[in-house]
Structure 1
Amino acid sequence: MSTLYWETHGPADGEVVLMCSGLGGSAGYWAPQVPALVEAGYRVVLYDQRGTGRSLQPLKADYRIEDMAADVLALLEQAGARQCHFVGHALGGLVGLQLALDAPAALASLALINAWAQPNPHSARCFEARLALLDHAGPRAYVQAQPIFLYPASWAALHAERVDQEVEHALEHFPGAATLRARIGALRRFDVSDRLAQVITPTLVSVALDDVLVPATCSAQLARAIAGSVYHAVPHGAHAHNITDAPAFNRALLSFLARLR
């Protein structure tokens, strides 16, 4: 298994918080969270997922969430960590759920941001539209549409220059259509809805009620089915609310982690 790009922040002896981003796969997604976690004494591990960013490499056509979970276990070993607090956004949350089911000893806790347990028709429609853009209009159209699914319209308009920079960065580091199809295929096949009661890891479920990509009811399902989970909902912030309202999300995450210390 090829080595992935990864980095650490914070004290070497701190409890490990491993952060797993969504479809984009980038370590840089978590920039709004790192300073708060480091200040609280955690050792933060970030990585570029296989096939993305600085971990570019071909993916097999039947790439699975289980393969992504295996990468996390290998990364923990490389980092010299027996266990981690796992924070996953969207696709990253699916990786966390897979680990909680198949390798629970590796997780001290699990935080799920706008994640889901099974496919739903609305998100499927969104992914079909994005793939159609890629097929018929090319990579620029695909990445131009990405902020529509990530951010509230008001936030994107207010931060237009930042969004433009993100679009250009995404285009410059575009992983290729085959990689995107493999990663989207993996998340669309994921279904652990009948296994959620088996999750015993302390879990935070964080959701923005105005997410236009993943219905908020998906997070509500997770919170109901995972015994003892903490449910954190914000009315506004959309799919990437840990970015668009980072202070509120950081407070919720740090409060959740503090209870486990």
Structure 2
Amino acid sequence: MHYEVHGRSDAAAPTLLLSSGLGGSASYWAPQIEALQPFCRIVAYDHRGTGRSGGKVPADGGIAAMANDVLEIVETLKLERFHFAGHALGGLIGLQLALQRPDLVQSLVLINAWARADPHSGRCFDIRIELLEKAGVAAFVKAQPLFLYPAVWMAEHAERLTVEEAHAIRHFQGRETILRRIAALRSFDVEDRIGNVMAPALVIAARDDLLVPYTRSLRLAEALPHSELLLLDHGAHAVNVTEPASVNAAMLHFLQGQGG
């Protein structure tokens, strides 16, 4: 497992673990790493089978196997407690960890996540899988921003998207990996156990998310025993990238409120 450590290194520094979505890359969190590293020690990692992390995604391990990958990093770094922020699939990993190892998870930040996938999200993933299988990697990658970003943001960042597209094609995680990761997030369902997550949680969503209806975050916030909700009108699925100032401010305020 490849991971990076940023920010404070003193013994009193709280640790924040960052877990990205389907892309699996630590670099997804660049806006948060820059803003939050003066406050805490940040650990960001590439998911198994993506980026610089080796190995293969188990055929039937689901989100639990991905949570075990995080525990491998936790053991390596000898972390006794940590805050955990996850985007979409990364948020599911956070929920799994909070249920599996509540002694470790001090708090959760869940960005456009869910306790059970919405049928609309399933339709979106069906379309993406069909693009991959019938049109190939380039088409799959080219369509990805449509599910992540607002149209105006894409228009204003066309050059950036061109660079990201070329990079994503060169470093594509592979057909088997992406299909297994999609299967894992689609099968994840903890709705009947979400009330057992005792860790304080900040739930963040955007009303204009095309991929995951924001109502999934509303249900999360209502079901989690100790939650706060930040619902933005704009920002789409990758809201922490497109609206970093609002998200960073909310995350910092929340984390500081957890007492380090």
Using structure 2 for the length normalisation, give the TM-score. Answer: 0.97
Select the residue among 125, 132, 141 that pairs with 2:130: 132
Distance 1:223 1:57 in 2: 34
Per the TM alignment, residue 57 of structure 1 is displaced from its structure 2 partner at its CA by 2.4
Distance 1:179 1:95 in 2: 17
Select the residue among 7, 10, 14 that pairs with 2:7: 10
Per the TM alignment, residue 34 of structure 1 is displaced from its structure 2 partner at its CA by 0.7
SS of 1:147's equivalent in the other structure is helix
Flag as ranges the 4+ runs of structure 1 deviating above 6 A: none
Distance 2:198 2:59 in 1: 32
User: Aligned runs of 1:176-255 on 2, under 5 Å?
Assistant: 176-255=174-253
User: Aligned runs of 1:64-83 on 2, under 5 Å?
Assistant: 64-83=62-81
Task: Tell me the amino acid that sits aligned with residue 7 of structure 1.
Answer: E
Contact 2:205 2:232 in 1 (8 A): yes
Select the residue among 96, 113, 116 that pairs with 2:114: 116
- More moved, 70-79 vs 108-117: 70-79
Distance 2:65 2:166 in 1: 29
Contact 1:89 1:115 in 2 (8 A): yes
Distance 2:230 2:149 in 1: 18
| Match of residue 25 from structure 2 | 26
Distance 1:77 1:25 in 2: 20
Contact 1:84 1:108 in 2 (8 A): yes
| Match of residue 161 from structure 1 | 159
- RMSD, aligned CA: 0.8
Per the TM alignment, residue 31 of structure 1 is displaced from its structure 2 partner at its CA by 0.3
User: For 1:196-252, what per-residue CA distance to the aligned partner results, in whole angstroms no more than 9, with x for missing partners?
Assistant: 111100100000111000000000000000012000110000000100010000000
Contact 1:210 1:236 in 2 (8 A): yes
Task: Tell me the amino acid that sits aligned with residue 5 of structure 1.
Answer: H
Gaps of 5+ in 2: none
Contact 1:63 1:182 in 2 (8 A): no
Gaps of 5+ in 1: none
Contact 2:199 2:226 in 1 (8 A): no
Distance 2:75 2:199 in 1: 20
User: For 1:111-166, what per-residue CA distance to the aligned partner results, in whole angstroms no more than 9, with x for missing partners?
Assistant: 00000011221000000000000000000000000000000000011000111111
- More moved, 54-63 vs 150-159: 54-63
Distance 1:54 1:35 in 2: 21
| Match of residue 103 from structure 1 | 101
Per the TM alignment, residue 38 of structure 1 is displaced from its structure 2 partner at its CA by 1.1
Task: Tell me the amino acid that sits aligned with residue 46 of structure 2.
Answer: D
| Sequence identity percentage | 52
Distance 1:87 1:119 in 2: 19
Task: Tell me the amino acid that sits aligned with residue 155 of structure 2.
Answer: A
Task: Tell me the amino acid that sits aligned with residue 245 of structure 1.
Answer: E
User: For 1:37-61, what per-residue CA distance to the aligned partner results, in whole angstroms no more than 9, with x for missing partners?
Assistant: 1122x00001100010001322232
How many residues end up aligned between the 2 structures? 257
Task: Tell me the amino acid that sits aligned with residue 195 of structure 2.
Answer: A
